[in-house]
Amino acid sequence: MNVAIVGTGYVGLVSGACFSEVGVDVTCIDIDAAKIERLRRGEIPIYEPGLAELVERNVAAGRLHFSTSLAEVASKVEIVFCAVGTPSDEDGSADLSHVLAVARDFGDVIDRYTLFVTKSTVPVGTHRLVQREIEERLRLRGCPDTPFELASNPEFLKEGAAIKDFMSPDRVVIGIASDRGRKLMERLYRPFLLNNFRVMFMDLASAEMTKYAANAMLATRISFINEIANLCEKVGADVNAVRTAIGADARIGGKFLYPGCGYGGSCFPKDVRALIRTGEENGCPMKVISAVEAVNEHQKTVVFRKLYELFDGNLRGRTIAIWGLAFKPETDDMRCAPSLEVITRLVEAGATVRVFDPVAMAECRRRIADAVTYASDIYDAAIDADAVALLTEWKQFRLPSWAVVARAMKGNTIIDGRNIYQSADLEANGLKLISIGR
């Protein structure tokens, strides 16, 4: 089979590499010529475990190609995936300009039946806009009868575990209307079916909605447990005990019930906002989801507020070490990361901030340059720090030598924004632990 994937970001590159791994001929396309040039030279523009090897292997096997032009491959592909970004617009709705641009490119180049599959996360009803855009371009080209079809195939991979998620997902959701399109998608996903996972076919609107409902549900669990954690602190309860006990109920389950310093990343914040906006547009206010977002905005400031209280409202001249910048471990993605919120507030309050992250240092430099000092590891970051704040639960941060940390620091407080440390370990070294909801 021969497919093109337009948009070579986290989703496009991982999808392309994984499809080519099972034998599909894939061309990954992007308008960012510099990115395509780097990929052609064998450089991987993002950090994702296992991705570099996968790309290298499939490029060498001649199954994975990179291009800046859909026109170049249009005559050989049966399916064109759209995996471009859908960032938040000013009013919170999803910005569909990139998706519609891909639809126009598609309409400009196809010359026989081709399937247009939207993998980008798009609001319910977007397929109608895409359809209109393609039809318009075909009309302008004077070939309005060129057959094409749309499908919605939202992506559920998690950054940091993207390859595993793609190769053996919990489910594949495909919204499609015709039998012909369905057979094509079944053929493409058959190699993955051997692992016994489920492909769920449905109508296009339901597939589009499924992605938002899934992300909103996960975000809800996080905001829910964060709110419970905040109340635990006030009433002297331990959220860890509470979380474990409610998670033991099979109806609730323990996943995604970890309190912390708020969710970030490229998906939850924008998808939650877009769902709220879709509700507004349809006269159906999303009250639960609106509260989820408000709770999260508040939670992203929790570490800063704890530091502010610790130093009696005066952070001027204090040195704060930040352990972890990425919005979660195993990625260099800092989009909407709580670290940015905490750093901005600390700098505004006059503190000196020393940061360390195993992979997101370059990304941090790109975003905030010399607003902070860059350390070579967690111990270096802790030098002369009045307090340390852990914001990303990287594995290598789990068991630091507290004796070394204590010697390096000027102060003695560790704020654990991810609840991974135990008081006793720190106290043995003269350090004080402040965590979330305990």
Ligand X SMILES: NC(=O)c1ccc[n+]([C@@H]2O[C@H](COP(=O)([O-])OP(=O)(O)OC[C@H]3O[C@@H](n4cnc5c(N)ncnc54)[C@H](O)[C@@H]3O)[C@@H](O)[C@H]2O)c1
Between CA 121 and CA 271 the distance in angstroms is 8
Q: How far is the CB of 309 from ligand X (least distance, A)?
A: 34
244: Cα separation from own chain's centroid = 26
**Nearest distance from C-beta of residue 359 to ligand X, angstroms:** 15
Residue 154 near residue 11, CB atoms below 8 Å: no
Q: Are 434 and 426 in contact (CB under 8 A)?
A: no
Task: Spot the catalytic one: 267, 284, 336, 364.
Answer: 267
Among this protein's residues, is 267 annotated catalytic? Answer: yes
Choices 78-86, 131-139, 248-256, 369-377 (CB under 6 A): range interacting with ligand X: 78-86
Query: Looking at beta carbons only, is 12 or 411 nearer to ligand X?
Result: 12
Is residue 29 a contact point for ligand X (CB under 6 A)? Answer: yes
Q: Tell the smallest beta-carbon distance from residue 304 to ligand X (Å).
A: 26
Tokens of 400: 């630091």
Q: Does 30 bind ligand X (CB under 6 A)?
A: yes
DSSP 375: P
Among 26-34, 58-66, 179-187, 302-310, the segment contacting ligand X (CB under 6 A): 26-34
Q: Which of 12, 123, 259, 411 binds ligand X (CB under 6 A)?
A: 12
- CB-side exposure of 60: number of CA atoms within 13 Å? 7
DSSP 80-94: EEE-----B-TTSSB
Interface characters, 150-179, with ligand X (x: CB under 6 A)? -----x-x-x--------------------
Residue 273 sits in the site that holds ligand X (CB under 6 A): no
Please say which residue, 169 or 400, places its beta carbon nearer to ligand X: 169
Closest CA to 81 of 46, 115, 125, 33: 115
Question: Binding segment for ligand X among 30-38, 216-224, 320-328, 413-421 (CB under 6 A)?
Answer: 30-38
Buried b (16+ CB within 10 A) or exposed e, 94-110: bbbebbbebbebbbebb
Of the two residues 160 and 411, which places its CB atom closer to ligand X in the complex?
160
Under the criterion CB under 6 A, does residue 84 sit at the interface with ligand X?
A: yes
Starting at the earlier edge strand, list the strands of the sheet with 64-67: 64-67, 25-29, 2-6, 79-82, 114-118, 148-152, 171-176, 198-202
Choose which of 27, 67, 86, 210 interacts with ligand X (CB under 6 A): 86
* Cβ-contact 259, 437 below 8 angstroms: yes
In the complex, least distance from residue 253 CB atom to ligand X, rounded to whole angstroms: 21
Chosen residue from 17, 73, 83, 431 binding ligand X by CB under 6 A: 83
- Binding region for ligand X (CB under 6 A): 6-12, 29-32, 35, 83-86, 98, 101-102, 120-121, 155, 157, 159, 266-267
